Structure 1
Amino acid sequence: MTSKWGGLAALLAGFFVLLLDTTIVAVASPSIQADLGGDVAGLFWVTAGYLLAFSVPLLVAGRLGDLFDPKRVYLFGMGGFAVASVLCGLAPSIGWLIAFRVLQGLAAAAMSPQPLTLIRRLFADDERGRAFGIWGSVAAAATLLGPILGGLLTASLDWRWIFWVNVPFCVIAVVMGIRLIPGSQGSPARFDLVGAALSTAGLSLLVWALLSWRTLSASMIFAAIALAVVLLLVFYRLYRLRSRAEVLAPLWLYRSSGYLSASLAMASLGATVLAMALPTMLYTQQARGFGPIEAAMVLSPDALVAIVLSPPAGRWADRVGARRPAVLGMSLLTVSLVLIGLVVVLNLSPWWILPGAAILGAANALAWSPLSAVAMASVEQDEAGSASGLFNTVRQVGAVAGVAVTGAILAGLESSPRLAFGVVYGFIGVVAAAGVVAAVRLPVVLAAPRESGAMNAA
């Protein structure tokens, strides 16, 4: 039995647990360190190891969805995520927890590109914005509930339950997915092993260097990034020599103004929202003495507004096209970051962050749905998995880069906190403004995706 709304519900169940796990862990970090020991660097890699394993394989995972059916890859990833969650809860040391978190990240990477592909299959163009709007609402709910649920489980039971709580959600998602998500035969095309190895190695080095700047010398970071660039350039050169059916990443999609602009705007959105969180939390807790719950409350309007506005924002995008909602959303993103930055730099009461956080929620609701819809409407069905993997990779690497640059600025200007906050929010504002420019370049009316055919050696 399959239906488009039942299939969407099954996908949302899996997506909810994935995002819940991303936000639930931070709250339990002190309890994890007290129980398992380890230094701050080890605790950092509990999260960074997951992020690295999640970000890097997205290109490969998207392609696997094209070849073997996104439904199968999604369910396989969900099953792996459940197993890894059980292992995380049983971890006897910080080293084992990091290893199991890497397994969790790999499973999450297998899952992540498939829903965009499946939503494209389930919904017509004039319904896709509504579906993505509901998707955004669930994402906001998971982001809001993660820290709250993490705090409750850690305080009332044990930190290990923040991982074990994933298992019933995963089981429900798998059962629903088997029954409600439509399957396909996949593609007979070959898998590009060389391209997979090159892209994985290049992205691994790039993301590792961005995450490890605290512990590496400048020369090591430069060398790692330089080698990553070389590997990715070789990957691009081989891409030009492959047939269209064989390539791992459909880079020709960047010839489409819709796909390119949506990717750049989404990278801006991911980078700025995550980069904003660290300095805002430092300000509220270290500079103004807020506790973790009070600090989380300051940003809670972001998720609350996004929960309410995401579905109507998606319906609006269906009616008027993607550009107007996306431009408004990215513009509101810039406004919200400026307001939050002014509160921090001028040393105002943290509660003045609330209006900026509410505007941020509106920005997320308005931008996320149309950007995702444009990207997936620009591709043929048989390359949707690869396109989704590429789209997600750009977003994730943008987010990692934003967090890394923010952390580097804060560390480099640690002796002058006000200057550090000013430079950080200035950087974030520039990136958000670049996202507005990208959104303005979105097409008013989408052109039909080009037919698959011989290799396009651009």
Structure 2
Amino acid sequence: MTSTALDERLDPPASPARRAGLGAVLTAVGIPTFMVTLDNLVVTNALPVIKAELGASLSDLQWFVNAYTLAFAALLLTAAAIGDRLGRRRVFLAGIVAFTAASAACALATEPWMLIGARAVQGVGAAAVMPLSLTLLAGAVPDRLRSAAIGAWGGISGLGVAVGPVVGGAVVDGLNWQWIFWLNVPIGVVAVLLAARVLGESRGPAKRLDLAGLVLATAGVLSIVWGVVHGAEDGWTSGGVLGSLIAGVVLLAAFLGWERRTAAPMLPLRLFSVRAFSVVNITSFTFSVGVFGAVFLLAQFFQVVQGYSPLESGVRTMPWTLAPMVVAPLAGMVVDRVGPRALIATGQVFLAAALGWMALVTTATTQYSELVLPFILAGVGMGLTFAPAASVVMASAPDADRGVASGTNNTIREVGVAMGVAVLASVFASAGSYDSPASYADGLVPAVWTGAAVVAAGAVVALLLPGRRRA
């Protein structure tokens, strides 16, 4: 969709000044959203090169991704609450600045631990950007046009997903992997200046920060992911792994108990009394576990197994990654007419079928032509999921709770990404390795089958979403 066409949907032709204002708001929230979405996948095609240059292990590769996603997930709700309290625009700007500075630190890393630490700080900045971008956009758009605006926001997110592997591959081929992160610096500077000029300040109801909930939730998720990441290498019954998994479960149980009792919960459990909100979050979790866990391994397949360069590998993923950019805005426009259940459930079915198809045809000698159709099917499935899921989240919560509702959904999705990378990489490590193309394919196939099974379970759950009449 062109910017002119989008402006016409967001505002009547008779009001050109306001139409330009809404377009500027979409740009101001869209650039930072694109930047933090890009960094979910931009590093994937650089992983084999980073592995060689920094001497990184499989566990390090997982933490290059998970340090970002876990920090992102851990602070989303807190960032949304701080935004409600101190001003959403102010916290949004602070998030862009933190993300930009951390990107420079990533580029300067010379050891795996340094890159992991800088990626974690990137995640802290992204935690302020992602939920508040949607909240700021939703507050600037009339209710009757909100789904179209969210669809455009979903298209921007889809664009970040689409070009991430290609940008990463092109930069690694043309320059070096450090420039993947240097690119964020000028973009971040422009984003700060634009957002400061265009966005208006808004606040939600002021409430006490739930620091105890933050500590319990963060420690619980980190403990479980640490155990899963190290399970295949250290042994699932080893003291460290088993203790970490048990501690994680106990901490998360304590978190839920605390959230029920405290007067100012970080995660208001009452939100989950709305069936649509509960279902869309379960589906978001299974989607992230299955899809992004598979992407982590599939993105490296073309380099490790077939010997392509990072750019050639990124180009070959484009049938998958470009489709959400096209489908997500269209899904946002029609979700109110056809209902979220039809779109999201269909999207999950497409994704599960696509992953199963990939697992079925993947060997050390697989031809690229055999993967094109399942890649396209997976991309369409992702596009059918992004914008309708965001619309369900916004529609399920009252105005005062939209910030925390958005943060909750993003938190669950990012935790799913970290869990997916950890679980599927563990399945990979138990059956294969990086030692040879055949060994990599041996580990990849059962891992992708696992991802397909998780997404299929989410497709069944998605049938509980409201249909057209209730949307």
Q: Same fold (TM over 0.5)?
A: yes
C-alpha displacement of 1:290:
4.3
Corresponding residue to 1:177 among 195, 203, 208: 195
Would the aligned equivalents of 1:65 and 1:71 in 2 still touch at CA under 8 Å? yes
Q: Distance in 2 between matches of 1:282 and 1:43?
A: 11
Corresponding residue to 1:234 among 233, 254, 272: 254
C-alpha displacement of 1:248:
0.7
- 1:43-192 equivalences in 2 (<5 Å): 44-192=62-210
Q: Distance in 2 between matches of 1:411 and 1:34?
A: 18
Aligned with 1:113: secondary structure?
helix
Tell me the percent identity. 32
Q: Distance in 2 between matches of 1:22 and 1:315?
A: 26
Q: Which residue of 2 aligns with 1:451?
A: none
2:456 counterpart of 1:438? no
Q: Which residue of 1 aligns with 2:6?
A: none
Q: Deviations over 1:176-219 (max 9, x none)?
A: 21222232134232112222222222222223333343554423
Q: Distance in 2 between matches of 1:279 and 1:286?
A: 10
Q: Distance in 2 between matches of 1:299 and 1:345?
A: 17
User: 1:287/1:161 Cα in 2 relative to 1: closer, same or farther (>3 Å)?
Assistant: closer
C-alpha displacement of 1:80:
0.8
Would the aligned equivalents of 2:287 and 2:455 in 1 still touch at CA under 8 Å? yes
Corresponding residue to 1:314 among 308, 318, 332: 332
Residue 391 of structure 1 aligns to which amino acid in structure 2? N
User: 1:401/1:45 Cα in 2 relative to 1: closer, same or farther (>3 Å)?
Assistant: closer
Q: Deviations over 1:48-68 (max 9, x none)?
A: 333332232223223223322
C-alpha displacement of 1:250:
1.4
Q: Please report the RMSD computed on the Cα atoms of aligned residues, expressed in angstroms.
A: 2.8
Q: Distance in 2 between matches of 1:154 and 1:430?
A: 33
Q: Distance in 2 between matches of 1:425 and 1:136?
A: 25
C-alpha displacement of 1:81:
1.0
Q: Distance in 2 between matches of 1:250 and 1:105?
A: 23
Q: Distance in 2 between matches of 1:445 and 1:379?
A: 18
Would the aligned equivalents of 2:44 and 2:165 in 1 still touch at CA under 8 Å? yes
Name which of structure 1's ranges 110-119 and 352-361 shifts more when overlaid on structure 2. Answer: 110-119
User: 1:347/1:221 Cα in 2 relative to 1: closer, same or farther (>3 Å)?
Assistant: same
C-alpha displacement of 1:281:
4.3
Q: Deviations over 1:23-56 (max 9, x none)?
A: 3334444555666566665555433333332232
2:235 counterpart of 1:223? no
Q: Distance in 1 between matches of 2:210 and 2:133?
A: 22
Would the aligned equivalents of 1:66 and 1:384 in 2 still touch at CA under 8 Å? no
Q: Which residue of 2 aligns with 1:387?
A: 405
C-alpha displacement of 1:366:
1.3
Q: What is the TM-score of this pair, normalised by structure 2? A: 0.85
Would the aligned equivalents of 1:261 and 1:438 in 2 still touch at CA under 8 Å? yes
2:241 counterpart of 1:249? no
C-alpha displacement of 1:338:
2.5
User: 1:44/1:399 Cα in 2 relative to 1: closer, same or farther (>3 Å)?
Assistant: closer
Would the aligned equivalents of 1:116 and 1:376 in 2 still touch at CA under 8 Å? no
Q: Distance in 2 between matches of 1:102 and 1:424?
A: 26
Aligned with 1:213: secondary structure?
helix
Name which of structure 1's ranges 38-47 and 400-409 shifts more when overlaid on structure 2. Answer: 38-47
Unaligned runs of 5+ in 2: 1-16
User: 1:359/1:386 Cα in 2 relative to 1: closer, same or farther (>3 Å)?
Assistant: same
Aligned with 1:112: secondary structure?
helix
Q: Deviations over 1:214-254 (max 9, x none)?
A: 554423222112112212222222222223xx111012211
Q: Distance in 2 between matches of 1:18 and 1:307?
A: 16
Would the aligned equivalents of 2:96 and 2:125 in 1 still touch at CA under 8 Å? yes
C-alpha displacement of 1:419:
6.7
Q: Distance in 2 between matches of 1:216 and 1:110?
A: 35
Corresponding residue to 2:449 among 426, 434, 440: 426
- 1:16-35 equivalences in 2 (<5 Å): 16-29=34-47, 32=50
C-alpha displacement of 1:373:
0.8
Q: Distance in 2 between matches of 1:83 and 1:388?
A: 25
Unaligned runs of 5+ in 1: 449-458
Would the aligned equivalents of 1:59 and 1:390 in 2 still touch at CA under 8 Å? yes
Aligned with 2:362: secondary structure?
helix
Q: What is the TM-score of this pair, normalised by structure 1? A: 0.87
User: 1:58/1:185 Cα in 2 relative to 1: closer, same or farther (>3 Å)?
Assistant: closer
Q: Deviations over 1:388-417 (max 9, x none)?
A: 222112111222222222112222122996
Q: Deviations over 1:355-383 (max 9, x none)?
A: 11111111111121111110121112222
Name which of structure 1's ranges 336-345 and 286-295 shifts more when overlaid on structure 2. Answer: 286-295
